[in-house]
A and B are shown apart, each in its own frame.
Chain A
Amino acid sequence: MDGESIATFQFLGLTFNTTNIISGTVAAVIVFLVVFIMSRNLKLRPTGKQNALEWMMDFTNGILRGSMDAKKSTGFGLYAFTLFLFLFVSNEIGLFLQIGWNHVTYLRSPTADPIVTLTFSLITMMLAHYSGVSQLGFKGYFKNTYLTPFKVWLPISIFTEFIDFLTLGLRIYGVIFAGEMLLKIIGGMAFSGGILNMVVAILLALIWQAFSVFLGAIQAFVFVTLTSVYISDKIEVEE
């Protein structure tokens, strides 16, 4: 675990992290396959997997409806749904599957890397600001976002936007990264001593993994909830 290095490669003058590329692709493929299989054979009278899929859609739509009008929330349904599933799978994937070779990890939770979580945070903030401008016009958006409640609030508002962006991304990164690191430490402990160490470590790993599954789900939920809150902040004028 120590001396862990990152495999990178250059393409078109840009630096890519191999681990992130592989992990992200795997997570996306898993999400797509699950949703694809669940959405086969759609019927008016839903059965089994269709019920589950509709429940998931209703779940993310419910998150959106919690913070904005039902009419406005329909446009963001797909985004929230995809975001939730992708983040959820990304959070959980590293818990049971970590592939390393030559001290280089090739597969783990993509969300354990801040660059990934901040990318999603950035996408959310851009979507929120874009929706604000398209809903209220640039003047209305500027007034609603930066000059409310007072005009002198402007510096704080600008600062807040950055804080929102950073906390949204770093929150999920912190939880998942810490979870994975603790798992690695427990794993290292398992092979550090005798059989007793192994037994204790396996128990600890089990408990921590169960807790991490819960944490991953909570973090995906929190991310989507905050996304919908930020979007509604931008598109709805507070009276």
Chain B
Amino acid sequence: MFSHFLLGAAGAGLYIGDMLFYAILFVVLMAAIAYFAWNPVSAILKERADRIANDMDSAEESRKEAQKLAAERKEALDKSHAEATDIINNAKDSGDRQKALIVDEAQKDAQSLKERAHSDIEQERADAFKGAQNDVAALSIEIASKIVKKELDADSQKELIDSYIEGLGDNK
């Protein structure tokens, strides 16, 4: 047991063979672990780190994109509000103008209609007056002529009456 304690030097001598064996064993073990575990796992770790970096980059990018889109939408919304107000104002203005125009026109039309009706009535009345005048004149002339005819030729009264009646009959 004490041979162990004195590094094996006291007993069976230094086991160079063991040292060699362990050195080779360790190198072989290291190579096997490198081939079967260390390198694949390191590759996976690197791939994962790359993936995470990529994901973070793309997340940042999409966040920026989303912010830009939101800003654009807000701007568009504001613009559409302004546009809507403009449109409504324009419509109101043009409606007002149209209203004024229509009312004006209607008033003018009514005025002219009224004037024409007035003149028509005037004309009618003048025409009727004229017709009546003519009739009265003709009637007066006829009566006058009949009276004259009677005074002129009393003898032929009968004839006159006859002719008158005849004339009436004709008139009928």
Which residues of chain A come closer than 8 Å to B168, judged between CB atoms? Answer: none
Q: Decide if A54 touches B41 in the complex (CB within 8 Å).
A: yes
A221 interface hit (Cβ, 8 Å): no
- Distance of A98 from chain B, by nearest CB (Å): 15
Q: Mark B1-23, 1 if CB is under 8 A from A, else 0.
A: 10110011001111111111111
Taking the closest CB of chain B, its distance from the CB of A89, in whole angstroms, is 11
A15, A54, A113: the one within 8 Å of B17 (CB): A15
**A residues 11-50 in Cβ contact with B at 8 Å:** 11, 14-17, 20-21, 24-25, 28, 31-32, 35-36, 38-39, 42-44, 46, 50
Whether, in the assembled complex, B164 has its beta carbon less than 8 Å from a beta carbon of chain A, the answer is: no
Q: How large is the interface on A (under 10, 10 to 19, 20 to 34, 35 or more residues)?
A: 35 or more
Distance between Cα atoms of A79 and B21 in the complex (Å): 17
**Cβ contact within 8 Å between B12 and A119:** no
* Known contacts A32-B32, A82-B29; is-contact A14 B41 (Cβ 8 Å): no
Do A16 and B18 form a contact, CB below 8 Å, given A35-B36, A57-B41, A82-B30? yes
B45 touches A (CB below 8 Å) = yes
- Tell which of B7, B21, B23 touches A114, judged by Cβ atoms closer than 8 Å: B7
A222 at the interface (CB under 8 A from B): no
Contact A20 to B18, CB < 8 A, known contacts A42-B40, A42-B44, A57-B41: yes
> How far, in Å, is A76 (CB) from chain B's closest CB?
11
* Docked complex Cα distance between A116 and B19 (Å): 7
CB within 8 Å for A78 and B20 given contacts A114-B7, A115-B7:
no
B152 within 8 A of A: no
Question: What 4 pairs across the A-B complex have the smallest Cβ distances?
Answer: A14-B17, A39-B37, A16-B17, A119-B22
> A15-B13, A57-B38, A85-B33 are known contacts; what are 6 more A-B pairs with Cβ within 8 Å?
A15-B15, A17-B15, A32-B32, A57-B41, A81-B33, A81-B38
